[in-house]
Amino acid sequence: MRPLLQARSVAACLPLLALLGACEPAKSGYIPYIPGPGFTETVRVAVRLPDSVEVLHAGEWATLHAERESGPWKLKAGEAANEKAACERTSPAIQETEVASRVQWHVEPREGVSYNVPGATFERQIRFERPGRYQVWAVSKGCKGMVTSNRVEVEVR
- The reply to whether 31 falls in a domain is no
The structural domain count of the chain equals: 1
Q: Print the domain residue range for 137.
A: 40-70+95-156
Stretch 111-119: mean pLDDT: 88
* Cβ atoms of residues 134 and 62 within 8 Å: no
- Could you report the per-residue pLDDT of 19-63, keeping only the tens digit for each? 444 444 444 566 788 899 999 999 999 999 988 778 899 999 999
Q: Tens digit of pLDDT for each residue in 90-100?
A: 778 899 999 99
Residue 10: pLDDT band by 50, 70, 90 thresholds? very low
What pLDDT does residue 83 have?
57
**Would residue 121 count as lying in a domain?**
yes
- Model confidence at 81, pLDDT cuts 50, 70, 90, reads low
In a domain, 89, yes or no: no
In this structure, what CATH number is given to the domain that contains residue 116? 2.60.40
Give the closest residue to 34 by CA, choosing from 85, 68, 83: 85
Domain-located, residue 22? no
46 burial type by CB count under 10 A (0-12 exposed, 13-18 middle, 19+ buried):
middle
Neighbouring C-beta atoms of residue 32, cutoff 10 Å: 16
**Residue 57 identity:** H
